[in-house]
């Protein structure tokens, strides 16, 4: 009996570190391990490596290296941006969307609990955001507008150019969460001119635990961590040099993939998977319309148990996810799909597939070959079978909330 394959299709949750990334990180850990704040040779080598990595990341994002500060990841970058904007305008109004990552939503709710007004702009049933609705929600007392470049669950790309332009015209600080977009979409921060941008290395074949915040010169800023004054006093704490260097290498590789047409290969592969699913499972529903990240497919199967889908796929050696996998211990239905008014019976049978630079045609073919049987088994385990209420559309949980903006 041949061993089952091991196929990783959960690349929106995290990606495999590229071999070049692992090699660079290992070298810094074992050979160039100096503290950049010291004065000897080891320190100078480490400091030069950090400077080079910052340049590599700036090349990927289309900004100046001096505008980047390294963080522990996107969550810290987002939290720093919130703290900075809100310290400049305490109690100010916050505008974001109903489908943001929890790192944005929980920060927004934190300031709401302290007296700030919070507006959550809805998306349509295809997960698309109207720039006009978002802009209409802005007000004279808005302290921060926060919006993702692309959704982590559906891959839907948001109209951030128009939103940033409107915010700049009103002198409203704007935060872009580019965690999923970096390395998958071309970014030109210098042309876009947002105030803050958050990115995380492990989303584009870098290591976990390292990210960055783009900080526009002149934007409100309040350091989250104070102490030794590292990162030009913007983020204290000894630099994680091995991870920073690894992120730089990952950024360089990501830029090369963007320039080589790799994203088009992934789009073709994703479309092949989508077409194959719809052909063999006609009751399947694709969640997300319009422009999407080329690697992302979110699909629902009526009257199927998402947990059972993942379990059966895992038994076959395939790793996928049912929604956002950043907090998988909380088996809560996707707030993104609920905001899109997806039927409850489909929400509980959702599956997200995230392809990567290492995903092959054979792996997609294997998933297509086993999926019909997996869905049949998952439907047998579903509590929704025979439930007359299962197909009712569920309005966003914020629909009756006075903070929910239907503007």
Per 3-state DSSP, the chain is made up of helix, strand and coil in percentages (nearest 5) of 40, 15, 45
> What positions carry a catalytic annotation?
326
Q: Supply the DSSP string of 1-44, one letter for each residue.
A: -PPPP-EE-BTTT--PPPHHHHHHHHHHHHT----TTSSSHHHH
- Residues 103, 82 contacting (CB under 8 angstroms): no
Burial class (CB in 10 A: 0-12, 13-18, 19+), 96: buried
Q: Taking Cα atoms as reference points, which of 397, 370, 326, 381 lies closest to residue 348?
A: 381
Burial class (CB in 10 A: 0-12, 13-18, 19+), 341: middle
Q: What are phi and psi of 84, to 5 degrees?
A: -65, -50
Q: What are phi and psi of 310, to 5 degrees?
A: -65, -40
Residue 369, both tokens: 């070959």
* Euclidean distance between CA atoms 75 and 152, whole angstroms: 14
Query: What three-state secondary structure class fits 122?
Result: coil
How many residues are recorded in the chain? 407
Q: Taking Cα atoms as reference points, which of 397, 338, 351 lies closest to residue 125?
A: 338
* Euclidean distance between CA atoms 57 and 75, whole angstroms: 18
* Euclidean distance between CA atoms 275 and 292, whole angstroms: 15
Count CB atoms within 10 A of the CB of residue 105: 18
β-strands 7-8, 318-319: how paired?
parallel
Q: What are phi and psi of 198, to 5 degrees?
A: -110, 135
């Amino acid at each position: 009996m041949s061993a089952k394959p091991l196929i990783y299709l959960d690349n929106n949750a995290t990606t495999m570190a590229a071999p070049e990334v692992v090699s660079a990180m290992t070298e810094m850990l074992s050979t160039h391990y100096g503290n950049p704040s010291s004065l000897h040779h080891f320190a100078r080598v480490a400091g030069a490596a950090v400077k080079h990595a910052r340049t590599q990341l700036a090349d990927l994002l289309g900004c100046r290296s001096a505008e980047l500060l390294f963080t522990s990841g996107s969550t810290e970058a987002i939290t720093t941006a919130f703290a900075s904007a809100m310290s400049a305008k305490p109690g100010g109004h916050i505008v974001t969307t109903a489908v943001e990552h929890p790192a944005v939503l929980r920060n927004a709710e934190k300031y709401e609990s302290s007296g700030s007004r919070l507006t959550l702009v809805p998306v349509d049933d295809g997960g698309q955001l109207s720039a006009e609705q978002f802009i209409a929600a802005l007000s004279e007392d808005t302290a921060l507008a926060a919006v993702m470049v692309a959704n982590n669950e559906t891959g839907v790309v948001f109209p951030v150019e128009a939103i940033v332009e409107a915010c700049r015209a009103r002198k409203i600080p704007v935060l872009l969460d580019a965690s999923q977009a970096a390395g998958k979409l071309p970014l030109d921060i210098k042309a876009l001119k947002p105030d803050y941008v958050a990115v995380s290395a492990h989303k584009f074949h870098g290591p976990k635990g390292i990210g960055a915040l783009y900080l526009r010169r002149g934007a409100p800023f309040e350091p989250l961590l104070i102490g030794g004054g590292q990162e030009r006093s913007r983020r204290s704490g000894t630099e994680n040099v091995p991870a920073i260097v690894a992120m730089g290498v990952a950024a360089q590789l990501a830029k090369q993939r963007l320039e080589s047409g790799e994203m088009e290969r992934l789009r073709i592969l994703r479309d092949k998977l989508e077409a194959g699913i719809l052909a063999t499972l006609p009751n399947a529903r694709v969640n997300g319309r319009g422009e999407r990240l080329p690697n992302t497919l979110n699909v629902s199967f009526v009257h199927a148990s998402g947990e059972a889908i993942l379990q059966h796929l895992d038994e076959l050696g395939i790793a996928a996810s049912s929604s956002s996998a950043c907090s998988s211990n909380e088996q809560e239905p996707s707030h993104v799909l609920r905001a899109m008014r997806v039927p409850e019976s489909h929400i509980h049978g959702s599956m997200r597939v995230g392809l990567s630079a290492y995903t092959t045609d054979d792996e997609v073919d294997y998933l297509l070959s086993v999926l019909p049987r997996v869905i049949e088994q998952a439907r047998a385990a579903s509590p929704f079978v025979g439930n007359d209420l299962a197909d009712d559309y569920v309005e966003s949980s914020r629909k009756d909330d006075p903070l929910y903006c239907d503007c």
